[in-house]
Amino acid sequence: MMSMPVPKRNANMQIGDLVQKAGIYTKPGVVVEKKDDGTVVIDTEQKQIERYHRYANTSGLTPQEKTRFNSIMDEVMEGRDDAERINRLQEKIDQVRTEPDGKRVFDTLINQQSTLIRYARELPRVYSYDSSQINGY
């Protein structure tokens, strides 16, 4: 683990945020501690990275939001095939969409859904969408 100063533009870094590289350190890691002096401690162990970023880069989410996202994705990925996973993920997205404090997890789930759809070349069978955003109607 190493301790690095945080530039003012990165003052909002959260525990668990991904650091691709820092200065001469080119190995990725995650923030595991924020110190009062403005430095952060970065751990480069792969297990620590996967703790927060198993499915996607969740930088910007709070540690609790990262945990929530990963637990949702753990459940989704238990599906037998891509179509089942996409449909289960859509159910979770529709659920999180209605939660007052779920906006950032919702946005991250939408990004993950886009990745899964591109990979699987499948779409969810049923989904919710803002009718004001539908063109041509």
31 and 71 inside one domain:
no
User: Between the CA of residue 25 and those of 6, 20, 37, 43, 88, what are the distances in Å?
Assistant: 14, 9, 20, 11, 39
What DSSP designation does 68 have?
Answer: H
44 and 77 inside one domain:
no
pLDDT in tens, 29-77: 999 998 888 888 999 999 999 888 888 889 889 989 999 999 999 999 9
Cβ neighbours of residue 114 closer than 8 Å, sequence gap 6 or more? none
How many domains does the chain contain in total?
A: 2
List the domain range (segments joined by +) for residue 82: 63-120
* Model confidence pTM above 0.85: no
* Stretch 70-89: mean pLDDT: 93
